[in-house]
Each structure stands twice: as structure tokens, then as C-alpha cells.
A and B are shown apart, each in its own frame.
Chain A
Amino acid sequence: MLTANEKKRYCRQMVYFEKSFESQVRLGHSHVVVVGLGGLGSLVCQYLAAAGVGEITLYDHDKVEWSNLPRQLLYTEADVGCWKSDIAKQKLSAMNGTIKITPRRRFEGNEEDLYQLEQCHLVIDCSDNFTTRYNLNQCCMQVNKTLISGAANRASGYVIKLTMSNTSACLGCVLGDLSTFDGARCHEQGILGPITGSIASFQSNIALRTLLAQEPLEDYLINFDGEDLLSYRYQCLRDPHCTLHSTQDESFLYAT
């Protein structure tokens, strides 16, 4: 059920939804895990909270720094030095008091983290290193949860949506195994706020569409170039020779 205030609050997006009432209730019963509360995650979680996603679990083990403020719009000067996940809980709860926000620190892929993923409907990767990204990839494969992975630096970025079904692609199928690759990060190559904003918007849009079952089942990558302002969508197929899938299959065999 929606309260009178909730009907007023969500009326614009409910007009857009095909089944307005059911869709909003469905969002209210959804649980999303967001890993990383930097340039992407700090915006994604705001869109989800504002849209009425009922439960959001937030992972981040960093504190707010001055260099975050130009693009991580959830935080203010007063937040510098505080844990991002704690600040995020405080601000998102103020933004929407009807939803549940659970702050957590580092995502390690341990039993507790796997439990969190099992309980959720969707996982959004907004992390800032390949180790976490590939750890999350393996965990999502293990529990068959759709992963929406976003990345950005300089003036470009991409989103990879992976349904993580038994026949779907994984990060390894798309990018190869980069789990130990020390790729360039924002503090080395630079980043513009609106670029992370664009990628975060893509991720949020895909997330809401996925929760409302409006997304195609195929896996894809959207690449966005912020210099020529073009975006292209590419289909991602499972690589039969993907080493990460074979690792997963082996662990599944051992587990059973």
C-alpha cells in the first residue's frame, strides 16, 4: 500500500510507469546493494532512495576527502573526515524516511557479504579498483544476482549490465581477467564531475528498469564518451573460454 504522501511524492514517476501503483509498490519492496560510495555510488544511492527503493545496503570503507567534493555531491565540507557510509545513511534517511538504509564498510566477499547479496534483488558496482570489482563479479555469479558495473575516468566511462544467469557473461568475458591488474584510477588520470554523473545516471536508470522487469535479459555494455557526447551499446556474450567462469564452475562442483 502507498500512503497519501507517498502517492503525492512519487506521482511523476508513477505516471511514467506502465502499471503505476504496482510498480511503485514493487520498488518499495526492492533491496539493492551498492558497493562504493564515491563519484558513482554517492549519486546512484540518491537516485534509488529518492525513487523509493525500499532497502539499500551501502558498502564503503573510505572517509570523505576534500578532493571528493567536486563530484560526490552527497557530501559537504562538514563531512570531510567522516565515514562515507555513515554520512550516506544519515543523508539518505533525511531524504526519504520511509526506506531502510544499512551502512557497511569494506566489501570482502565473505560469508556475511554473500548473505547480503543473496537477500538483495540487484547489485550495483561503483567501486574504484579491479580487485573489488572482480570479487563482486565472482560473488554475483555465485548467487545469480544481476550486476550493474559502472566505471569512469577522465572524460569517459561505461556501464556493464550482467544478468549473471547460468548462461550470461561476466566481467571476465568482457574485459578479461583483470582481478590483479592495477589500472589507472581517478586520482592519477583525473575526472570531471558530470562524467561520473552521466555514468551514475545510466546505472540508476538501468537499476530501476531492472527492478521493474523492464530490462531486456541480454547482457550489454554502454560506453559513453564525454568529449564527443556519444554513447554506444554493445552486446556481451558469454566467453566459453572465460577463466573466471571455469573457476566458478570448479568452486560450485567442490561446494556440491
Chain B
Amino acid sequence: MNSSISQPETDVAKENALQISMPSDSTGTIKIRFNNQIMHCPQNITVSELLQRELDNSLGVAVALNYIVVPQTQWTSSVLYENDILDCFMAIAGG
């Protein structure tokens, strides 16, 4: 899963610096946690848009927003907000 996702900034100093110099309300960005990594993205971005940006292919991907699974049919209408927690994982066939 992680191999197909671009790595967001994880460095704490960078993160703090970004918070000070670019607060979300003045830059048009929001801070979210995506697969346990802090990342900044544009305000009003939807789950669908974020996945398009971060994943090569979203077939067989399940997504949870703030610990509630978001069905694929709702990805385009689910808008992300400041401090949202978004997790995605690949559907697995094997057992």
C-alpha cells in the first residue's frame, strides 16, 4: 500500500515551521493525517481528489475518514477538513 503512496512531510521541525508560516486559514490549505503521516492539502479537497493525487490506482482500496469507512460511492462528496484522519488500505484476496 505504502509503496504506491507519495511520502508526505514527516519531519517535525518542518511541520512546525509550516504551521507557523502557513496557517491553514490564510493559505487555503488544511492539515490532515493520511495513513499516519501529516500532510497539507488544499481546502475543500474531497476524498476522491486526494486519492487521485496520492494513489496510482484506487481499485480495491478501502478508505476510512475519522475511523468510519467511506463507501466508494461517497468519495466524491466527502470533503476533508482540518485535522481529519484519513486511512486507506488495499482489499486483500488471500487468507
A151 adjacent to B93 (CB under 8 Å): yes
Given A174-B62, A175-B62, A235 and B69 contact (CB-CB distance below 8 Å): yes
Report the separation of the CA atoms of residues A133 and B71 in the bound assembly, to the nearest whole angstrom. Answer: 18
Residues of A within 8 A of B92 (CB): 151-153, 156-158, 183-184
User: Is A236 located at the chain interface by the 8 A CB criterion?
Assistant: yes
Residues of A contacting B60 in the complex (Cβ-Cβ under 8 angstroms): 175-176, 178, 181, 183
CA distance A245 to B64 in the complex (A): 20
Provide the bound-state CA to CA distance between A176 and B69, in Å: 11
Contacts of B95 in A (CB 8 A): 36, 38-41, 125-128, 150-152, 196, 199
Scan A27-69; emit 1 where CB is below 8 A from any B CB, else 0. Answer: 0000000001011110000000000000000000000000000
Structural contact, B89 and A158, CB atoms closer than 8 A? yes
Give chain B interface residues in 71-95, CB to chain A under 8 Å: 71-74, 87, 89-95
Contacts A234-B69, A237-B69 given; does A223 touch B89 at CB 8 Å: yes
Chain A residues near B62 (CB-CB < 8 A): 174-176, 221
CA distance A120 to B94 in the complex (A): 24
- Provided the pairs A221-B64, A234-B67 are in contact, do residues A241 and B94 lie with their beta carbons within 8 angstroms? no
Q: How far is the CB of B4 from chain A (nearest CB, A)?
A: 12
In B4-32, the 8 Å CB interface with A consists of: none
How far, in Å, is A211 (CB) from chain B's closest CB? 21
B residues less than 8 Å from A130 (CB atoms): 91, 93
Question: Does residue A233 face the partner (Cβ distance < 8 Å to B)?
Answer: yes
Question: Would B71 and A176 count as touching, CB distance under 8 A?
Answer: yes
Q: Does A201 contact B (CB under 8 A)?
A: no
Smallest beta-carbon distance A53→chain B, Å: 19
- Asked if A252 CB lies within 8 Å of chain B CBs, one says no
Q: Using a CB–CB distance below 8 Å, which chain A residues touch chain B? A: 36, 38-41, 125-130, 133, 150-153, 156-158, 169, 173-176, 178, 181-186, 189, 191, 196, 199, 221, 223, 228, 232-237, 239, 241-242
